[in-house]
């Protein structure tokens, strides 16, 4: 018995397409127009929408890293953040004011005012009272 075995030709190896910088710039500019869909621009130019979205994202990231402050509007790189020493003063003296406590037990109401400077002794007194 004679059988012919047909084999499909091996697919050509995939090659990464290279796009001219002018083409990329034109397509990215089209995507940045208000009300324009990235997917529509990609479809119109024969590109994958996710691929085009990565170009737009890279462009926006680059724009964020550049600042146009230089002479004549020439982009200048952002300066690295610097730390500025700050002095913080501790509160002077003792706390002012009063601690006000109101305890209600059945029909008895006890209202106590205690100086805030003696907060630790007030806490101890309350612990002893509420046992």
Yes or no: say if 97 and 118 are a contact pair by the CB < 8 Å rule.
no
38: part of which helix (H) or strand (E)?
helix 38-44
What percentage of the chain reaches a pLDDT higher than 70?
76
**pTM (whole model) above 0.75:** no
pLDDT in tens, 19-28: 888 999 999 9
CA torsion sign for 54, 58, 61, 67 is: negative
pLDDT interval class at 91 (50, 70, 90):
low
Strands, DSSP E only, in the chain?
66-67, 76-77, 98-105, 108-115
């Amino acid at each position: 018995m004679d059988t012919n075995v047909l084999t499909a030709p091996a697919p050509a190896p995939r090659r990464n397409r290279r796009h001219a910088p002018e083409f990329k710039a034109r397509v990215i500019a089209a995507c940045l127009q208000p009300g324009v869909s990235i997917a529509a621009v990609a479809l119109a130019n024969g590109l994958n929408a996710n691929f085009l979205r990565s170009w737009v994202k890279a462009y926006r990231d680059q724009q964020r890293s550049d600042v146009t402050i230089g002479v004549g509007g020439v982009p200048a790189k952002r300066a690295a953040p610097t730390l500025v020493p700050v002095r913080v003063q501790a509160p002077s003296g003792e706390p002012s004011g009063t601690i006000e406590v109101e305890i209600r037990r059945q029909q008895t109401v006890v209202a106590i005012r205690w100086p805030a400077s003696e907060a630790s002794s007030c806490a101890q007194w309350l612990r002893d009272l509420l046992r």
